[in-house]
Structure 1
Amino acid sequence: MDKVFKSFVKIIVIVLCLSLLSGCWSRRELNELLIVLGFGLDWENGEYLASYQVVNPSEITAQKRGGERPPTTLYQGRGKTMLDAARSLTAEAPRKVYMGHLQFYVISEELARRGIAEFIDNALRDNEHRMDFKVVVARDMKAEDILKLYTPLEKLPTNSMLHSLETSERNWAPTISITLDEVLDRMSSEGIELALTGIKLIGTVEEAERKKNVETFQPSSRYRYKGIAIFRGDKLVGWLNEKESKGYTDITDNLESTSVEIPCGPSAYTGVEINSSEAEIKTKVVNGKPEATVYIRSEGSVNERECDSIDLMKPSTIKLLEEQTAVIIRSNAEAAVRKAKSLRSDCLGFGIHFAKDHAPYWKEVKKNWNNEHFPSLKVQYKIKMKIRKTGTTGNSTLNPNTGG
């Protein structure tokens, strides 16, 4: 009897092992899918307009050159809800869309001003979505137009936009690279509001979607990141300009590298490259009123000298440049705080620090923080700038007036 039982157990084990080798029950072949790289969402005539930028695999292979078709195709669906818009897509799309490789999510400014909570929640519920795609706002234009662009260097427009966003964030400052999981974190956190980078088209949509757009030295139409969109709750309420955006990235400790131009003549500047920056916010409550101090510590180097009156061999010159750079950094930070207050949106995260360091006070004020307490917040600034290098061992031997 024991032998029969053991034989039965072996058969069961073998059957189970064979079942594991049968493959994935939900497997889908690549030739059955439309791989979505970019997604745009607009609000048009009381409906969602969903634009899916899908890749044409045959047009981006290394073996094929000069294809007649564009590297991507745009499919669109409309509906009163996101689900309706996605389902209506099947009326024209020959295959099922697959969102697992989504890189870029573009929201129109009009829709962002209406509120983004509903469709962000929809993206969260889709089990095919990853959480690491970038989210941006199409400034003063429709999201679908951003996805119709032929781009140089990169065949896939979303690749170009993604790499440009990440590079700009690291090396310039007035842009931020935000993923969906970071959007959800900001929208669900107390004491900080959402901020997203804006993108717009330079040129016309008609030129952008023609292949001739990339057949000249400078494309007639191209994208450019411009400004940071500020939200209150889930609604866009305003924009930061370049100066305010630099202050934003500095205060929120997102600054990796940027440049500062210090006037040294009627139309000449000394360029200082900031390659390291750390920010910290400290808070206190004085007589029931909130106060905060922003500490920014930056380091950099002199990388451009247009004025021969600037003697980089003198310690006093370096000290003066440090002071002048610190003034500009402070001015940027002040501008960012001033705009955030005017928009009644604590996108800079002061509230997070009050919630952490002054919990009883925060419990009393958090409901009216943006409208009442944040606009009256007293902010002080402590800026330290250190120039570590001057780019050369001394002053240049070139005469800037003669070029030699």
Structure 2
Amino acid sequence: MREINQLAIVDMIAMDRDEQGVFLTHYQILNPPSNEARRSGPTKAAVYTYEVASPTLGSSAEKTGSVMSRKLYTSHLQCYVVSERMARAGLLKVANYLENYKERRTNVYTIVAEDPVSEVIGTFTLLDRVPGRNIRLLLDWHARSFGINKLPIRMNDILEGIPFSRPTIIPIIQYSGNASASQSDRLEDIHATKQNLKINGGAVLIGAKMVGKVSDEIKNTYYVLNGYATRKQETFQVNGQTIDVEINVDQIKRSWVTKDKLRIRLDVVMGLMNNEQSEKLTIRNIEIMKEQFNRTYKRKCEQFASFAIEKNWDMLGLGDTNQGRNRWKDIQVEFEVQSKLATLGNTITPYE
């Protein structure tokens, strides 16, 4: 049994590995309120970051004893951040270390940092003053906006995806800004997005190794077509006029037409968010909108399938089926989209 003032409560762990093979581990520790109360003035930093360099991951925790007077406590860990170069080298060593050491956790979010890890973990965040919690809440909101209870981006999910043909896609986080935002006076700046963290795109992992990046659009379509996401916003054109809708996926059904042909049918309900057409919303106009959406989204799905073949990434998991095992590129995928339209607002006719 240890007293609370003997523990360093870890909020976030960031990991990198340099060209010489040295592991650089950043531990972000919550600033204990008991210490704040004893100080003569207010303490602005909600967390402190400790960086240690070690030849192996196993020795990184021991190295913290030279810079920190407390024992690491990871039960409240919010997320892992791994550098892009470490993800491209492979995360098996990281996963094995976390699984073998009882005080580490693999059921928390894992995210790839495109920028240097030191910039991401050293950024003061607004609204949620604790960066690790801020990233976790950002990912939770990201999931809820797609109707996903929990994004499949935990370290456990990466491990479970190792034997499968379908890759795992986890978000990439970036720091938007030129100068470092590690000083607490950042909290006094009203421009919230100027020096902040943002999710942009996704990292594609096959066998727990990053093989490339995808855009937000590809990542989001991946979530929909693989049954993770049930909600998404889409934009399409009718007679040159823009229409924004929120789609709710009622059902995705896969059926084999032949051993070489797979049909994927999507049944969706569109919620009309923005209608820039000048004409009234008649039954005929609704039919035109539905037909145009069906064509547009079918074309997007076909482009997604072509992108997967071009990159040699089995984004639809065809190689995990009996028909597609070891020959997923030979499978012809046919998409069918059926939609219904519902209104979300107070009016169905645009103002004149």
TM (norm. structure 2) is 0.89
**Alignment partner, residue 164 of structure 1:** 138
1:253 maps to 2:227: yes
Distance 1:70 1:328, change over 3 A: farther
1:303 maps to 2:268: no
1:337 maps to 2:337: no
Classify the secondary structure of the residue corresponding to 1:83. Answer: coil
Classify the secondary structure of the residue corresponding to 1:82. Answer: coil
Distance in 2 of aligned mates of 1:202 and 1:323? 40
Distance in 1 of aligned mates of 2:337 and 2:36? 51
Query: 1:102-150, CA deviations, whole angstroms, 9 ceiling, x for partnerless residues?
Result: 11111111111111111111111221233331011112x2223211111
> How many angstroms does 1:257 deviate by?
2.1
> How many angstroms does 1:284 deviate by?
6.2
Aligned length: 349
1:4-403 aligned at under 5 Å gives the runs: 27-46=1-20, 47-58=22-33, 67-139=42-114, 141-171=115-145, 176-187=151-162, 189-204=163-178, 206=180, 208-219=181-192, 220-264=194-238, 269-283=242-256, 286=259, 290-309=260-279, 311-312=280-281, 314-352=282-320, 354-355=321-322, 358=323, 362=325, 365=326, 373-389=327-343, 391-396=345-350, 398-399=351-352
Structure 1 unmatched ranges of 5 or more? 1-26, 366-372, 400-404
Distance in 1 of aligned mates of 2:179 and 2:101? 31
Supply the AA of the counterpart residue of 1:77: V
| C-alpha contact 1:326 1:385 (8 A) present in aligned 2 | yes
Distance 1:318 1:168, change over 3 A: same
Classify the secondary structure of the residue corresponding to 1:131. Answer: coil
Structure 2 unmatched ranges of 5 or more? none
Query: 1:227-270, CA deviations, whole angstroms, 9 ceiling, x for partnerless residues?
Result: 1211222221111112212221111112232211223576x522
Distance 1:263 1:285, change over 3 A: closer
**Alignment partner, residue 368 of structure 1:** none
| Structure of larger gyration radius | 1
Supply the AA of the counterpart residue of 1:334: E
Classify the secondary structure of the residue corresponding to 2:105. Answer: coil
| C-alpha contact 1:37 1:53 (8 A) present in aligned 2 | yes
Supply the AA of the counterpart residue of 1:211: S
Distance in 2 of aligned mates of 1:44 and 1:347? 30
Distance 1:199 1:177, change over 3 A: farther
Distance in 1 of aligned mates of 2:36 and 2:232? 36
Q: What percentage of residue pairs aligned between the two structures are identical?
A: 20
Classify the secondary structure of the residue corresponding to 1:119. Answer: helix
> How many angstroms does 1:159 deviate by?
1.5
> How many angstroms does 1:319 deviate by?
1.7
Classify the secondary structure of the residue corresponding to 2:198. Answer: strand
Classify the secondary structure of the residue corresponding to 1:383. Answer: strand
Classify the secondary structure of the residue corresponding to 1:160. Answer: helix
TM (norm. structure 1) is 0.78
Distance 1:304 1:111, change over 3 A: same
RMSD: 2.8
| C-alpha contact 1:107 1:135 (8 A) present in aligned 2 | yes
